[in-house]
Chains A and B, each alone.
Chain A
Amino acid sequence: MENNPFSVAGIGVYIPESRLDNTARAERFDYDPASLRDKIGVLQTARKAPGEETSDLCVKALENLTHKMGDALDLAEIDLIVVVTQHPDGCGLPHTSAILHGKLNMPKTCFAFDISLGCSGYVSALATVSGHLMAIGGQSALLFTADPYSKSLSEGDKNTSMIFGDAATVTLITPGNSWKIGRFDSGTIGQKADALERDTEGVLRMNGRAVFNFCALNVPPSIHRVLALNCVEMSDIDSFALHPGSKYIVDTISKRLGLPKPESLACAEYGNTVSSSIPIILNGLERLQNRRIIVSGFGVGLGWASCLLYSE
């Protein structure tokens, strides 16, 4: 199999400024403040403005990327835009990426589609987007993630409302040497699909133990398979960007991999932003000091996707 020529060339991030304070909510839920810090790990959750649509979040993420890249980012040269979301604009038809395409005045040669995935969505989409570019002979794509769970959260549900936050990201995918997209491992256990679902009232429901078991049993082996597929060892890896579902889950996966537990959850100040969580983590990493990174997303499906990002 030939190496994937595409890379993560740049990342833009938008996290709404509005926050809900979990300390106050924990008190209301009679939830132990120490457990909030040490197990949930999320102290505040970001919330989009009431009128802000999913595509609006994407536009703001792109503004951030444009600010960073300047003239190096030319929208007229983009062959593909993809939005990973399960909370699309309006009622989901047309697809959010088409609405975004219009808002950005993208050229008609730029194709647009959505990917309906949750926390595994970003990593999985790296494979989909680079594969699509190879198939059409394209050179560049914008991969957006925007899954504002506040659209389907019950703020009275302590299992979910203290975890999820709103955000959006955009990743420029082009040929390059940093961070190149390595080989993948992914899978789905559809028999557990109802463990994380939007119910008939449109409200998110989560079976915490089922999700926990899924993550603990499937993510560490997936990471070991990715290491083997890419011919690298654990000791070769500079960073592990594990989806921060909760501190307890990251701690459990880290323990099973023999890694040190992180002191705090990466998303402590804004929440689990679903498919945006991993690109937000990547955005905070220094490229020269992080030449090999394992990324792993896992959740809705229940499914996972893991791969290696590396610099030559």
Chain B
Amino acid sequence: MSVENDIRKIISDAVVGLDMDTVTRNALFADVGIDSLDIATILLEAQEKFNVEIPEGQEDDFDTLGKLAAFIEDHVDG
């Protein structure tokens, strides 16, 4: 499964009632109903899933599925 698909699963589990069809690669999380608390969970679950540290204070850099997936692909081991 690709990193992007894994993150989609994390988002789907974290945000109750979210229409995942709206979560396209470039859609802003805020525009599809994912708030800052949801993002905190998504980033933490992604950190644990991929064993990658996502810096605190840089949440604004990960405001779309595509940006978050790209960061993880760049930093994941192997």
Most chain B C-beta atoms within 10 Å of own C-beta, residue among A195, A207, A209, A213: A209
| Closest partner residue, chain B, to A246 (CB atom) | B37
Q: Which residues of A lie under 8 Å from residue B59 when comparing CB positions?
A: 209
When the two chains form their complex, are residues B37 and A207 in contact, meaning their CB atoms are under 8 A apart? no
Chain A interface helix/strand/loop/mixed:
helix
Q: How far is the CA of A195 from the CA of B57 in the complex (A)?
A: 10
- The one of A32, A209, A217 in contact with B43, judged by C-beta atoms closer than 8 angstroms, is A209
| B27 contacts A by Cβ under 8 Å | no
| B56 contacts A by Cβ under 8 Å | yes
Using a Cβ–Cβ cut-off of 8 Å, how many residues does chain B contribute to the interface with A? 11
When the two chains form their complex, are residues B37 and A248 in contact, meaning their CB atoms are under 8 A apart? yes
Q: Which residues of A lie under 8 Å from residue B44 when comparing CB positions?
A: 212-213, 216-217
Least Cβ–Cβ distance between A141 and chain B, in angstroms? 39
When the two chains form their complex, are residues A213 and B40 in contact, meaning their CB atoms are under 8 A apart? yes
Q: How far is the CA of A252 from the CA of B13 in the complex (A)?
A: 12
Least Cβ–Cβ distance between A31 and chain B, in angstroms? 9
Q: What residues of chain A have their CB less than 8 Å away from a CB belonging to chain B? A: 32, 35, 39, 195, 207-210, 212-213, 216-217, 248, 252
Q: What residues of chain B have their CB less than 8 Å away from a CB belonging to chain A? A: 35-37, 39-41, 43-44, 56-57, 59
What are 8 pairs between A and B in contact, CB < 8 Å? A35-B37, A208-B37, A210-B56, A210-B57, A212-B37, A213-B44, A213-B56, A252-B41
